[in-house]
Chains A and B, each alone.
Chain A
Amino acid sequence: MVGELRQSTPITLNTFMRGIWSENPVFVMLLGMCPVLAVTNSVINAVAMGLATTFVLLCSSTLVSILRSFIPKQVRIATYIVIIATFVTMVDYIIQAISLELYKALGAFIQLIVVNCIILGRAEAYASRNNILKTVVNSAGMGIGFTFALLCLGGVRELLGNGTFLGFPVFWEGFQPWAIMILPPGGFFVLGAWLLLFSWLKQRQARKAQIKKGELAHAT
């Protein structure tokens, strides 16, 4: 126990920020694609899905972290799935109680949070090895990162596909909405475009760093 304590690194801002930027589950790790594409045809749906997933992620990884020394190695995946499924069932009934309209819009995708690889991945790769506080901070970051990604997609798709943002009209009177953006192909296109943007930014950053290094070497 003492050795474990000494080895563990302290909680830094990076523990939290990692999930939002450098290890963003959607844009960098490409996990949990199905809900990302399926429910982002409007901002409201995207945010609701993001919050529901964050809740399940937080609760399940906290519980896994608490129970990590009691769960036998051989049956750990099955245990994680049962824990996750329990919280998803709770979320399913909660959303049904809060807003029936939202429940109908999200459909089976609330129950499909069970098979979201982000959650199982966090349980297996992080929560089963780290203490409760660290797990909570890290999961919160991941959840917010996921919600952010959903918001990015949902925002673009609703804006272009419907001409509205959160239901309020944005464009001028005669704007012709691009219906394709709300339909399935639009999901693929918008996510592809975001990935292009991010990889372009990353390449530009790398090139700039290289030029700077070159200049420094030249100066000395």
Chain B
Amino acid sequence: MQPDSVSFIFLNACIVNNFVLALFLGICPFLGVSGKLHTAWNMGLATMFVMLVSSICAYAINFLLVEFNLEFLRLICYIAVIASAVQLVEMTIKKVSPTLFRTLGIFLPLITTNCAILGLALFQTLKEYNFIQCLAYSLGAGTGFILAIMLMAGLREKLDLAKVPNVSQGAALSLMLAGLLSLSFMGFAGLGG
């Protein structure tokens, strides 16, 4: 596979350099919303959608900023775009499916401070991807996020039934689990060249 082909970029963002387990982006929702499989799935979908929208917007904005030599405003513009994209998603979901809106609750506005999304926008600028590559990158990152959070939620649902020492309950146990997951994802390193 060519290193800049669309399928390679997708696979790379999804599995090899998984945003959560290899690059440590978006740890907060990964630890916070992974208690139940159903909520994790909805959260993953919402995050993926925001990623797609903000990636497209970031591409357009970067094009304009480079045109006018205003690169130092990049960070402020990106974060403003992400905040408005989240607002847009929130309004759309509220209109289309009020049930889903209630299930996601507070986690929806919190997507704004998810570093995976700002990270995605910054990385695609850094790697100088073109428009199609940006799309593939954001879809791959979104799929990778869903994969990681679903795996974690499944494990934690099973773990609720297990007996663990009193001390290790809560965050410490989740982190150990995340470490094991990350260890297994390291097996994909080097895949696709």
A→B interface (CB under 8 Å): 30-31, 33-34, 37-38, 77-78, 81-82, 85-86, 88-89, 92-93, 108, 111-112, 114-117, 120, 180, 183-189, 191-193, 195-196, 199-200, 203
Of A37, A108, A192, A195, which one neighbours B27 at CB under 8 angstroms?
A37
Q: Is the CB of B76 within 8 A of A82?
A: yes
**Is chain A's interface secondary structure helix, strand, loop, or mixed overall?**
helix
A185-B182 contact, Cβ under 8 Å, with A34-B26, A195-B172: yes
Is B66 in the interface zone, CB < 8 Å from A?
Answer: no
Interface residues of B (CB under 8 A from A): 21-28, 31, 72, 75-76, 79-80, 83, 112-115, 118-119, 122-123, 126, 166-168, 170-173, 175-176, 178-180, 182-183, 186
Point out the residue from A93, A183, A187 that lies within 8 Å of B186, measured CB to CB: A183
For the complex of A and B, the 4 pairs showing the least CB-CB separation, nearest first, are A188-B179, A192-B175, A38-B24, A195-B172
The CA-CA distance from A159 to B27 in the complex, in Å, is 25
B75 with A85: CB separation less than 8 A:
yes
| Cβ contacts under 8 Å, A199 to chain B | 167-168, 170, 172
Given contacts A37-B24, A184-B22, A203-B167, contact A89 B72 (CB under 8 A): yes
The contact of B118 among A37, A78, A114, A195, by CB within 8 Å, is A114
Q: Chain A contacts of B176 at CB under 8 A?
A: 188-189, 192
Pair A192/B115 contact, Cβ less than 8 Å: no
Q: Do A184 and B182 have beta carbons less than 8 Å apart?
A: yes
Contact A112 B179 (CB under 8 A): no
